[in-house]
């Protein structure tokens, strides 16, 4: 773990729980693509970089989830590097309380203000597309989070953030975090059109072909849709639906999983509601969800 691999003339990545890209802008300076999941990860990443005789010029955040920006603060403090992010991701990186607040749909109690859901804020974050280094190209990857992006290097290497997940992750957890299901599916379609040399998702080994992994991700999304529709043959509240999903997939609930899976299930409900496959009604001050598949178009 935390092994440096060269995948292009100027492009590298550090194999880790959250793969970190490295792009050399000259013989001495590099940009990181993401920064690891916490302070300790940031220190390990920086050690690897410095062992090569490189200096960190900047960090490009693909998105603002704590497991991708957790190393920002310590690396910035030790190198005075710049940090670049796009759109809403830039705002959440600067104000990390927004991530657990969004997931919980209210002020997050202390148990949710942890390093897995809430990173430490760096000093300053600049808009990515106004400061993008030469040799890099932004790839917009909506679906997993608000304004998530990927990066293509001029070595024809694509860093794909959380636009798709490993087969092992899907088989173990089944429900991976999605903010916008329809956009995630459209992003999967787009990924199949890319013609890159190497692809690096954050949670998978590097690949030379994406089609199999895209198909695995797409199949699981449609399976979750079918599962929700099947469960909602019996009308129920959201909390009951969430319990049924945890039980059906043998998942163990804790506070982090409650908000991560819960937020994702709400996103699935929004997708299915817009497709007229589920609906709800308010009954005695409860929102009751039910299957509407017989009336769908």
Predicted confidence (pLDDT) at residue 169 exceeds the cutoff of 60? yes
Residues 6+ apart with CB under 8 A from 94: 121, 122, 124, 125
Residue 141 has pLDDT above 80, yes or no: yes
Alpha helix ranges (H) inside the chain: 39-51, 66-69, 72-79, 88-94, 98-104, 167-173, 181-191, 211-231, 238-248, 255-274
Rounded to two decimals, the pTM is 0.96
Stretch 152-172: mean pLDDT? 97
Whats the size of the chain, residue-wise? Answer: 297
Q: Give the pLDDT mean for 230-241.
A: 98
Task: Give the CATH number of domain 3-162; options: 3.30.465.10, 3.60.15.10, 3.50.50.60, 3.40.50.300.
Answer: 3.60.15.10
What are phi and psi for residue 178, nearest 5 degrees? -135, 130
pLDDT number for residue 293: 76
Residue 138 pLDDT > 70, yes or no? yes
Domain ranges of the chain: 3-162, 223-295
Query: Does 223-295 match 3-162 at the fold level?
Result: no
As a CATH number, domain 223-295 is 1.10.10
pLDDT, averaged across the chain: 97
pLDDT at 142: 98
pLDDT at 84: 98
List pLDDT tens digits, range 17-54: 999 999 999 999 999 999 999 999 999 999 999 999 99
Predicted pLDDT of residue 1 = 81
Closest to 83 measured CA to CA, from 112, 135, 42, 48: 42
């Amino acid at each position: 773990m935390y092994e440096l691999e060269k995948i292009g003339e100027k492009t590298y990545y550090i194999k880790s729980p959250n793969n970190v890209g490295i792009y050399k802008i000259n013989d001495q300076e590099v940009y990181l693509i993401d920064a690891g999941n916490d302070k300790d990860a940031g220190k390990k990443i920086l050690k690897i970089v410095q062992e090569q005789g490189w200096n960190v010029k900047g960090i490009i955040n693909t998105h603002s989830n704590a497991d991708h920006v957790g190393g920002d603060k310590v690396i910035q403090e030790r190198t005075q590097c710049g940090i670049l992010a796009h759109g809403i991701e830039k705002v959440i990186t600067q104000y990390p309380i927004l991530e657990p607040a969004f997931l919980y749909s209210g002020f997050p109690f202390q148990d949710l203000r942890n390093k897995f859901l809430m990173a430490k804020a760096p000093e300053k974050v600049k808009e990515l597309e106004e400061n993008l280094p030469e040799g890099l190209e932004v790839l917009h990857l909506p679906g997993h989070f608000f304004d998530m992006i990927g990066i293509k290097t001029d070595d024809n290497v694509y860093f794909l953030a959380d636009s798709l997940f490993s087969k092992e992750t899907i088989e173990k957890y089944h429900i991976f975090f999605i903010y916008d299901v329809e956009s995630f599916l459209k992003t999967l379609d787009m990924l199949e059109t890319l013609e890159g040399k190497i692809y690096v998702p954050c949670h998978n080994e590097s690949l030379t072909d994406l089609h199999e992994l895209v198909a695995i991700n797409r199949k699981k999304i449609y399976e979750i849709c079918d599962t929700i529709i099947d469960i909602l043959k019996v009308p129920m509240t959201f909390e009951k639906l969430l319990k049924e999903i945890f039980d059906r997939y043998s998942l163990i609930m804790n506070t982090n999983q409650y908000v991560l899976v819960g937020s994702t299930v709400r996103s699935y409900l929004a997708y299915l509601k817009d497709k007229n496959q589920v609906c709800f009604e308010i009954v005695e001050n409860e929102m009751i969800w039910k299957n509407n598949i017989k009336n769908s178009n």
